[in-house]
Structures are given as C-alpha cells and as structure tokens.
Amino acid sequence: MLSDSISLNLVELGHFAANLAMVMALIQGLAPILARWLDEPRLASLSVSASVLVFVLTTIGGATLIHAFVTSNFSVEYVAQHSNTLLPIFYKVTALWGAHEGSLYLWVWILTLYTAIVTLRGRTRYPEHLPIILAVQGWLVVGFFGLILFLSSPFERLLPVFPQEGRDLNPILQDPGMVIHPPMLYLGYVGFSVPFAFAITALLTRWKSELWIGLTRRWALIAWGFLTVGIILGGWWAYYELGWGGYWAWDPVENASFMPWLLGTALIHSITVQERRHMLHAWNIFLVISAFALSLLGTFLVRSGVLSSVHAFSVDPGRGLYILSFMVIVLSVSFGIFMKQGRYQQARESINSMLSRESLFIWNNVLFTVACATVMLGTLYPLALDALTGSKITVAAPYFNAVVVPLFLLVLMLMGIATQVPWRKARMEKLRARLLWPSVIGLLAGAAMTIAYWPVHWTGPVGVGLVAFVATTIFTDFGRALKQRRAQLSEPMARAALKTILGNRRHYGGMIVHLGILVMAIGFVGSGLFRSEMTVAMKTGDVVEIGGERIRFDGVDAFPRANYQTVEAKFTLLNSGRIVQPERRKYPVQAAPTTEAGIDSTILRDVYVVLAEAAGDHWAVHVYVNPLVSFIWNGGIIILIGLFLTLSTRRKALSQKMPATEPVEA
C-alpha cells in the first residue's frame, strides 16, 4: 500500500522542511551582513525572498505534524505521547500545542508568519530597511529552530516498532478555551518581536523615528491586543476548568504573560508621546526591547522547568540551558546596541509643563514600569533567595494582591485625569471645571458603597469610586463633543454620535478600551471582595443556602462518553429553577479524575458548583457564589471592540472636512 506508507512517513517530509527552514532562516539572517561585508548590496534582498520561504517551509512542517495527529500516526513519538484514536478530531488538531515540543513549534510558526506579513507589507513601504528587519527576525527564527530541531524535536519517530494506541492529551487541555488560549498568547508574545526588529533596525541604521514609530505603534497594538485576549482566555479557561472558583492565581506563568502586557501597555501610551511631541525616542526603544525580552523570559520560565506550574511541561536541564543562553545572547546584543546607539536621535521638543498630557503619560509609564518590576521581583525572588541562601519562601496571591492592586488604583486615577489634560500645557481653571463633576460622582459612588456594604476592604469603595470618576470623564467628554457637533450640524442624535466616534477612531477606540478596563475593574471588585463559598456534604434532596441562592442536590448519574467516563451531578437553583451540572471525568490514561465545574452565569453573579468526592451516599460539594464575574469577560470583549476601532484608522486618512456651508432648512 503505497499511499499508506506515504501517509505514515509524510512527517519525514515535514522534518526535512523544518530543517530547510532553519537553513533558510540562517540565510535570511546573514544576507544583509554578507551584503555589507562583501560590498554587494544586492545580496541583501536574499533575506526578503528567504523570509517567505521560511514561512512556507515551516508551514509544511506544521501541516505534516497536524496530519500525523489527524491520522493517529503513532510512529511519531510526540503524537503517541499526546493523542489517541478516541480523541475528538478537533482536539487532535490542537494537540499540536498540547505539550512542550509542539508549542515551541507553534511559537516559531507564528514568528515566521509575522515575518512573512512584515515582508509583504514592507516591500513597498520601507524597502531599504526591510532586509535588516528580516535579518533580526531571521536570527530569532534560527534560535528557536535550533532548540526545536536539536533539543526538543516533535518529529522524533518510534521506529520500527511503534504503539497501536497513543497515550492521551492531558485531559485538562481538552477544552475549547485551551484550544485558542495558547495561540492567542503566542500571537501576543511573538507579536512583540516585530517592534523589536524595527527598533534594532532603527538603532543600526539611524532610521528617523517619524518614519517607523507609527508602524511600530500598530504592531505593538496588535501584539498587545492578542496578549490581552490570550491572558483573559487563560483566566476564563482556569475558571471553567480548574475548579477552584477563581480565574487568576498569580501563578508564575500567568505572571510571565502579565509582565510583557504591563510593559506593552506602557509602550502603547508612550509611543503616542513620541508621535505627537517628538520625545522619548530612547525610552520607547528601551520599552520595545524590554517587552520582547520579557516575552523571552516568559518562554524561559515556562519551558525550562525552573518554575513548578501547571504550564511547565518540560523539565529538561539541556533545554533550560539553551533557552537561558539564547536569552542572554539576545539581551546582551540588543541592549549592547541600545547602549551604543540609543541616543542617535535627540528629542526635538521638550516638556512645557508638569501638567500636560505628555507628562501624565510619563507618570503612566512610571506606574506600569513599577508594576512590571514588582511582578518580576515577586516571581523571581523565591528562585533567587533559594539559590543564594537556600531558604524557601512562597510569593503568591496575597503578596501580589497587596502590592499590585494599589498601583492599579493609582493607574485608574491617572486614567481619569490624563484624558482631561491637553497636550503641552493645561489651564488650571479649565481642568478644575472638567474634573469637578467626575470627582463628585466618584466620591459619592465610593461613599455609597462604603455605607451599603460596611465593613468592606478599602480597595472596594476606592476602586468603585475611581471607576465612576473615570467613566464620568469619558462620558462627559463624549457628550461635549457631541454637543459641539450638533451645534454646527443639524443631525439626528444617533447619527451624530456615530459620526463623532467614527470621525476620531483613534481617540474613541482608546476610550472604549478604557471603558472595557473599567468594566473589568468592577468585575474584579465584585468577584474579589464579595465571593461566598462553602464546602458541604450533601445527599440527594439536600438543600444548601449560600449568598442568597438556594441549591438542591438532585443526585448523580454515571455514563461513558467518547474518550472518558463521567459522573454528572444535577443541582437545581431553587430561586430561578435553573440547573447546573458539574462533572467528574475519569480518563482511562490518567489515574486522577478531573473536575468540571457546573456554572450558572448571569450578569450579576455566577453560581459555581464543584463535585468533590463521594463518601457513602454523601458527596462533598464546593459551592461558590461569585458576583460580577461576567463583567470580566465582557470587559475583555469591550477592549477588543475598542482596539479594532483604533486599528481601523488608515494612517494617512484625514477626517472628512465639514461642509463649508450649512444646508438651509426649508
């Protein structure tokens, strides 16, 4: 059977393609250097052609791996370890990134995808700088392919004798959230490689910053958006799948994704200062390099096994050492270039006033940088302390909540003030007038909450007060713009509102993102401070009362599903008549059963039921009532809408001029 044997060994073609991709990436990285060395400028264009080839070859490699999963080709070790014939086809495809080797492959695949997009867009927009940008990307591809092909190859075979049945994908990864969480996160992580390549190129070629900073801003926004979505999806997955009633544990790997997000947030704000006021060139390049460095650090922390975590599937000192050396090389080279060239462009303007948009952006950067450094310190401190003194301590949620939450409250305050302050210099009387009502409403909201929920942790009223403050500034701003527009043009309200937003997409996109953050903040206050939980032993017919909900246990039912056995319980929420069905799943390949929480979600609260273990005719049941959790996910959606709006601006598109004359009313 010829076709069978082709199908069985197709993965060898993929392996070959991946090797070739690494060689091509090497050419991509070397071409501009050789061009300069041999004084043969035409050579540089090799990196442009190579970059497209690298993507095509990497895709061939990835496609053959997916093919191996779909056809359950257990002669491939990685497939045999992480898939089996019973696995639903959907999870077979996504099992590619279910473990160490494959997720690294996905990483490099996304990197080559980004590189190819840069190539396609750059050939007409920035042709002279394209080869160098691609060379930087090429070296990153080489670095990661080296790790994949030599130390953690997903192409390893089990020949001549291979198993007829595979083990299984880790059951907790068999979940839709897990299917999209890693690619989104990687699109974010790897996305910062594009601004990084632009920044290094700019340093090397003394590229005028006006010409590249706008491009970099868009890439940074895209990377930031994917990272945001990836992080929120990770929280969503943890909430639905891990069954402890929460969504964010300050797990070191969560922190690893949070750190580039924090610096990325600082970056997308301070880039605006550079665009509008021609300052902070060096600082922005520093932020770009650091954000990418933190992406690499994240990879190192996750993949090297120095941290114990749900995500750390690899404990192999060789790989850790490789990633560490790679990171050290990338960092010393890029920061070396930065130290030497960082000040190639002088600021052409200066701060005019302490009270101006640009100086408040500086404070934004101060807060986000401190938050990032704090998270980094907390994540690495136990490792350093252990290595230096041998004493072990735990730095977990209590620490991070205690130090990061106050910083974020300061960020919220700044968020409200900064949008009211114009560029260059604010007039004090005007600012005071603009902030008066928002402050009053914020104080009232905080006071009302203190009275209604006394005794309450101070972060609650302060958080809610600040949310009300910022929200009022956003809406009064919008109202003012709307009023001005309607004073000039006689338009119906809805049309005027839409036109106002679409006429300044960048601004209102940003404001919508801010609103999304506010909605999430409400969710954090509600679910963080007002959660009720209870652990009870229940038998069929028992009722438990928690957080204003009455929940009746209606018994369990056991039956088989495609690739696991399930015990499904039924609980009725007596207040609304709705039903939640938590499960305990037993996968044949794993000893310990996994729990699926049963969740009834409304806007105001989630009832979250976890079936623990049975003792006689009683079941131990964890019941949580989590207020306002849906705000967190909905806030994420609002952020995405705002981001799309911001990105939908064409760079050169000027808003349509208003008609010179008003149409005369008949």
Give me the residues that bind other proteins (CB under 8 A), please. 243-246, 249-252, 308-310, 346-354, 359, 362-363, 365-367, 369-370, 373-374, 377-378, 381, 385, 389, 391-399, 403, 407, 503-504, 534-538, 541-545, 548, 550, 552, 574, 592, 595, 612, 655, 657-658
| CB closer to other proteins, 180 vs 347 | 347
Smallest gap from residue 366 Cβ to other proteins (A): 4
| Sign of the CA dihedral with 470 first, then 475, 480, and 482 last | positive
The owner of tokens 């990325």 is 264
Based on CB atoms, which residue is closest to other proteins, 16 or 313?
313
Q: How far is the CB of 423 from other proteins (least distance, A)?
A: 8
Which of 337/407 has CB closer to other proteins? Answer: 407
Q: How far is the CB of 368 from other proteins (least distance, A)?
A: 10
Amino acid at 206: R
Phi, psi (5° rounding) for residue 353? -150, 150
Q: Which is nearer to other proteins, 484 or 602 (CB)?
A: 484
The closest of 519, 502, 504, 489 to 636, measured between CA atoms, is 519
Least Å distance, CB 189 to other proteins, is 20
CA distance 568 to 611: 9
d(CA 647, CA 220): 11
| Tokens describing residue 182 | 């890693």
> Counting Cβ atoms within 10 Å, is residue 467 exposed (0-12), middle (13-18) or buried (19+)?
buried
Phi-psi region of 206 (alpha: psi -120 to 50; beta: other; left: phi over 0): left
Specify the amino acid at residue 304: S
**633 contacts 657 by C-beta, under 8 angstroms:** no
Choose between 125 and 539: whose C-beta lies nearer to other proteins: 539
- DSSP at 147: I
Q: In angstroms, give the least distance from the CB of 278 to other proteins.
A: 10
Cβ distance to other proteins smaller for residue 61 or 378: 378
Report the C-alpha gap between 64 and 225 in whole angstroms. Answer: 30
Select 397 or 558, whichever has its Cβ closest to other proteins.
Answer: 397
For the CB of residue 390, give the shortest distance to other proteins in the complex, in Å: 10
Contact between 522 and 632 (Cβ < 8 Å): no
Least CB distance from residue 111 to other proteins, whole Å? 28
Q: Which is nearer to other proteins, 204 or 347 (CB)?
A: 347
CA distance 126 to 133: 10
Q: How many helices (H) and strands (E) does the chain have?
A: 19, 10
H/E stretch holding 632 reads helix 629-647
Rank residues 3 and 346 by Cβ distance to other proteins and give the closer one.
Answer: 346
Token code pair at residue 647: 């990105």
Backbone torsion region of residue 316, taken as left when φ is above 0, otherwise alpha when ψ lies between -120 and 50, otherwise beta: beta
Distance in Å from the first CA to the final CA of the chain = 83
> Whole-angstrom Cα distance, residue 419 to residue 435?
10
User: For residues 478 and 512, what is the distance between their CA atoms, to the nearest angstrom?
Assistant: 11
Q: How far is CA 4 from CA 9, 75, 164, in A?
A: 9, 13, 15
116 or 623: CB nearest other proteins: 623
**CB 310 → other proteins: shortest distance, Å?**
5
Cβ burial, residue 591 (10 Å; 0-12/13-18/19+): exposed
Q: How far is the CB of 93 from other proteins (least distance, A)?
A: 27
- Report the nearest approach of other proteins to the CB of residue 269 (Å): 13
Closer CB to other proteins, 26 or 417, in the complex: 417
117 in Cβ contact with 203 (< 8 Å)? no
Closest distance to other proteins from the beta carbon of 398 (Å): 4
Closer Cβ to other proteins, 175 or 542, answer by number? 542
